[in-house]
Amino acid sequence: MANNPVIPRTQHARRRKQLMRMAGNDAILILPAAPERVRSRDTHYPYRQDSDLLYLAGFPEPEAVLVLVPGRKHGENLLFCRERDPAREAWDGPRTGPEGAVDAYGMDDAYPIDDIDEILPGLLEGRTRVYYHFGRDTDFDLKLIGWLNRVRAQVRRGAEPPHEFLELGHLLDEMRLFKSRDELKLMRKAAQVTVLAHQAAMRAARPGVREYELQAEIERVFRAHDGYPAYGSIVGAGANGCVLHYIANSAKAKDGDLVLVDAGAEIGGYAADITRTFPVNGRFSKEQRALHDLVGAAQAAALAQARPGVPYEAGHDAVVETLTEGLLQFGLLKGKLEKNIADGSYKRFYLHKTGHWIGLDVHDVGDYRIDGQSRLLEPGMAFTIEPGLYIPPDDKSVAAKWRGIGIRTEDDIVITKDGHEVLTEGLARSADEIEEFMAAR
């Protein structure tokens, strides 16, 4: 049975307090739940709550709105949510209800979501600034405009509508960028489960296996630990590994193919993101090993830059230099190192950046640059390091022996006071480690 860590309610309350302090006493902050999404006709995709609402309240249900009103005498933390409804609950499962939301989620007050049209205009009145994610949910944007217009219509009677509208992400994204101890417990758990899932895929690999069979092994491990895929699992055999966001996962892996697996578990809302590339028969060919070793060297170069005070971009620069140097040695690129970097020639084989922030979203929020400069790394920042090489199968300008090889190696790290911690430690990474693990199957 999974015994996964949880974020304590007291931490949600502290986050709300910090956010309201930053917003100021004349502000109001409005955070709607993620809408439910139709998959087909009357069936829905599995529901996933909006990450900001999870971060601030941990409330998992749809049809809800969190409203924070700093300095309000009658309560600052308000939640609108669905009422209890035994008939609906018999079909869809239990609901918290407004009464339960106050007790279970530490709200000052909670109201039925059906009453929001009557109540919210009154909460907007007298506030100067509205913090909200404009443009994310068009239907809710229109509702908010309607409530504002209701307040504006009362101006002659002395109503004071808000006159400043600010992107909530300016405050909240920066908070979410720095991970707490409790968040890191969940991220370590997601990483551990993802390691087990990748090991299951390596154990199941054999010539003739279908990509979806390996996907099934991976996602079985996620569910067995009360997790879900944090994103669509990528399982690309042979030249499919050269497609960055390959999702068909239907081809057969042939003897001699590499399999690129990019898959991560989500545990308690927090994502892991690991990529490994391994030979389906357990042995790398000479060319596969050469490129795999080069990607490994590039990842090591980026890891060496992962410490406080170093620009985030330094890891990518180190990867680009290492990969370009290797591509020149193998004859895949021609000319001088500096010129190939300056003119972007390496991008033929390395198409993406070296990583991204990770947390409640697999591509998590947070600025990468401040005032036009790459921001400096600080303790608590968590991100991926994922160099890769992709030699298109139809690229006639390179020797046939290299064509159709796609390799990526990805791990998740967090910056510590004196360096970094690899959250995804414990999974075979080098060609030797992978061959050794697969030989023991």
- How far, in Å, are 77, 312, 318, 423 from residue 353 at the CA level? 39, 11, 12, 20
Q: Which of 42, 371, 394, 418 is catalytic?
A: 42
Q: Which of 39, 157, 181, 245 is catalytic?
A: 245
Pairing of strands 373-374, 258-263: unpaired
Q: Which amino acid is at 354?
A: T
- Specify whether 170 is catalytic: no
The conformation of residue 138, written as its DSSP 8-state character, comes to H
Per the residue annotation, which of 352, 367, 425, 435 is the catalytic one? 352
Concerning whether 82 is annotated as a catalytic residue, the answer is no
Catalytic residue, chosen from 125, 257, 361, 410, is: 410
- Active site annotation includes 163: no
Q: Contact at 8 Å (CB) between 28 and 171?
A: no
Q: Give the number of other Cβ atoms within 10 Å of residue 309's Cβ.
A: 8
Q: How many residues does the chain have?
A: 441
Report the distance separating Cα 161 and Cα 125, nearest Å: 5
Catalytic residue among 129, 348, 356, 403: 356
Among 386, 411, 412, 420, the one annotated catalytic? 386
352 catalytic residue (yes or no): yes
Look at the block and give the residue holding tokens 């974020």.
Answer: 7
Task: Determine which one of 408, 411, 412, 420 is catalytic.
Answer: 408
- Catalytic (active site) residue 287: no
The verdict on whether 356 is a catalytic residue reads: yes
Active-site residue (options: 88, 223, 363, 369): 363
- 136 class by beta-carbon count within 10 Å (0-12 exposed, 13-18 middle, 19+ buried): middle
Catalytic residue among 262, 266, 411, 412: 262
Q: What are 283's strand-pairing partners?
A: none
- Active-site hit among 55, 131, 312, 390: 390
Residue 390 among the catalytic residues: yes
- What whole-number distance in Å separates Cα of residue 312 and Cα of residue 354? 10
Q: For residue 241, what are the contacts with CB-CB under 8 A and spacing of at least 6? A: 258, 259, 260, 277, 390, 405, 406, 407, 408
Find the catalytic residue in 211, 217, 273, 411: 273
Q: Which residues pair with 57 in a beta bridge?
A: none
273 is catalytic: yes
Instruction: Reply yes or no on whether 41 is catalytic.
Output: no
Residues recognised as catalytic: 42, 245, 262, 273, 352, 356, 363, 386, 390, 408, 410
